Amino acid sequence: MNYGFFDFLTLIGSLGLFLYGMKIMSDGIQKVAGDKMRAILGAMTRNRVMGVLTGLLITTIIQSSSATTVMVVSFVNAGLLTLAQSIGVIMGANIGTTVTAWIISLLGFKVKMIALAIPLVGIAFPMLFFKKDKLKSFGEFLIGFGILFIGLDFLKNSVPNLESSPEALEFLKDLTGMGHFSVLIFIFIGTILTIVVQSSSAAMALTLVLCNKGWIGFEAGAAIVLGENIGTTITANLASLIGNVHAKRAAMSHTLFNIFGVIWMFLVFNVVLRGIDLYLISTGATSPFQDPTSIPIALAIYHTTFNVANTLLLIWFVKFIEKTVQKIIPSKGGEDEKHHLEYIGTGLMKAYELSIIEAKKEVIKFGELSKRMFNMIPELLLETDNKKFIEKFERIKKYEQITDKIEIEIANFLVKVSKNEISEETSQQIRSMLRMNNNFEKIGDVCYQMSIAIKKKNEEKAWFTPTQRERLKEMFLLINQAFNTMLENIKAEEGKADIQKAVVIENKINDLRDAMRDEHFRSIEKGDYNIKSGLYYNNLYSSCEKIGDHIMNINEAAAGVNLE
């Protein structure tokens, strides 16, 4: 057989071109439909059927079940989805990925797509220079679609002709003819193949090409397809390694779902294949057991049958799968059960447009944490028990360290997302969230400095008068109102933040600060209280006004305006 190393590199390069085309196509369509996909996820209910439809729709759009499942793992990690919801989405993603096999089978083998692919790129290329982002992104999608089929055509041509090199099939012949054991071997091959190429779609394309060329038969191809369903779960499991216990369980549920499916399909393997064979013959097509050119369409039918049947069967066992993964991956304690991102997102996140949902959720939680930290200040000010005072002071100090850490993690994640090809709208959202993130960290710093001032005040026995305490109480209440309005605004839908309400409260804070300052200077002149307590009093109400300014900055970022 005349098939050297250069020919092997050509095969690998063709597969790489196919994968690159799929990536460009996926990224392009994500930018075109990113908002719609965010709306789909936002409207998701606890209904498992809705979860399946959501997974199906998103995977059909972005053409990558791996991207969908990795995204789901990240959302479970962030607390956006429950484990039960994630299982439904994963089931739908498995059905959605069958669309790739149908596209390849119907177009890649039935139509000379290479003749259309180059003109398609020619049509799409000028769209890259359009000013409108949606058209530019659609051009990227079309170019990716064209490159995908160019890669597929190269892939078909890089596989040697079986008639000219029959000895190449010898090792495959040794693996067949052993009944169910042969099926298990090819399931294993399919699993390894998908783990290596990190794409079930690419593994499916390679399998279809090998079957179409006659290198492997229908039975072996179907077994490889089963293995691909196991292999594709590795991506989500890798993504979950740095997630919390919920993320690990979501990834494990994907693995169990596919393994359960492969087990029961293995038991009825020959029956299903014979059924597909009879169906194709009844429609006037040739038997995939006799004609290699019929295998691609037969495998597309098999792939769809398996995933649809597996979902219809196991959708009734979501609770069982949930309990099973909870036993396999038990909680390590209360902290592990909390929904927070120690590392926001994952290094394997592919759905960049959709990852904005996760980032926004984390920013909202950062805002709630900032409000909680601020409300520790009045508690600290009123605490008279020294032991409890120290405990509360140390808690504020710990929170300040947490805010520093969260600010860095969110910023790093958003910067990482911004380096990818994203829409202008998503880029604007990232800039807004970075601004919010920075101001939340500054609020944490101010709160910590206020706690230090209160601690020093107590040490120096500089006590406040009842009037000072009442005025500070008024200021604390206003700041709380500002926090509540801010949280409403950052949770609001795009363009629905109530900036005027925030401005009214900000003005009240400024007016109260001015009034407290005037009263303070008059009291100092009259000698109503000593200079030390006056300095700490001035420090606290001025710090509250600074927090109000940071809150206003966050409101402006949420509304997409700058009132300065």
| Per-residue model confidence as pLDDT tens for the chain (564 residues) | 455 677 778 877 877 787 787 677 767 766 666 556 555 655 554 566 777 877 777 777 665 666 667 667 766 765 666 777 778 888 888 888 777 677 777 765 555 656 777 888 888 888 888 877 778 888 887 888 788 778 767 766 665 554 455 444 455 556 666 667 888 888 888 888 777 766 677 777 778 777 777 777 888 888 988 888 888 787 677 666 656 677 788 888 888 988 998 999 989 988 999 999 998 898 888 888 888 878 888 888 898 899 899 988 888 888 888 889 888 888 665 444 444 444 454 444 455 556 777 788 888 889 999 999 999 999 999 888 889 999 999 999 999 988 888 888 888 888 888 877 677 777 888 899 999 999 999 999 999 999 999 999 988 888 888 888 899 999 999 999 999 999 999 988 777 888 999 999 999 999 999 999 888 888 877 776 677 788 888 999 999 999 999 999 999 999 887 655
**Tokens found for residue 205:** 């394309």
Based on DSSP, count helices (H) and strands (E) in the chain, helices before strands.
24, 0
Count other C-beta atoms under 10 Å from residue 95's C-beta: 23
Residues in the chain: 564
Sequential DSSP letters for 218-242? HHHHHHHHHHHHHHTHHHHHHHHTT
| The pLDDT value given to residue 67 | 63
Is the entire prediction scored with pTM above 0.85?
A: no
CA 232 to each of CA 194, 195, 222, 226, 403: distance values in angstroms, whole numbers, following the listed order: 6, 7, 16, 10, 37
CB 482, CB 507: distance < 8 Å: no
| The pLDDT value given to residue 497 | 84
| The pLDDT value given to residue 498 | 87
Residue type, 309: A
| The pLDDT value given to residue 246 | 73
Q: Which residue is it, tokens 């659609």?
A: 138
| The pLDDT value given to residue 372 | 93
| The pLDDT value given to residue 135 | 83
CB 336, CB 245: distance < 8 Å: yes
C-beta contacts of 288-293 below 8 A and 24+ residues apart: 288/218, 289/217, 289/218, 289/219, 292/211, 292/212, 292/213, 292/214, 292/217, 293/109, 293/212
Cα angle: 391, vertex 394, 396; to 5 degrees: 110
Count other C-beta atoms under 10 Å from residue 361's C-beta: 18
Half-sphere exposure of 168 (CA within 13 A, CB side): 16
CB 105, CB 204: distance < 8 Å: no
Residue type, 542: S
Cα angle: 447, vertex 448, 449; to 5 degrees: 90
**Tokens found for residue 373:** 């930290």
CB 56, CB 63: distance < 8 Å: no
Domains of the chain: 5-162+171-335 (no CATH), 355-559 (1.20.58.220)
CA distance 368 to 363: 9
**What are the backbone dihedrals phi and psi of residue 425, each rounded to the nearest 5 degrees, phi first?**
-65, -45
| The pLDDT value given to residue 547 | 95
| The pLDDT value given to residue 347 | 43
Give the per-residue SS3 of 378-399. HHHHHCCCHHHHHHHHHHHHHH
Q: Among candidates 199, 214, 377, 379, which has minimal Cα distance to 289?
A: 214
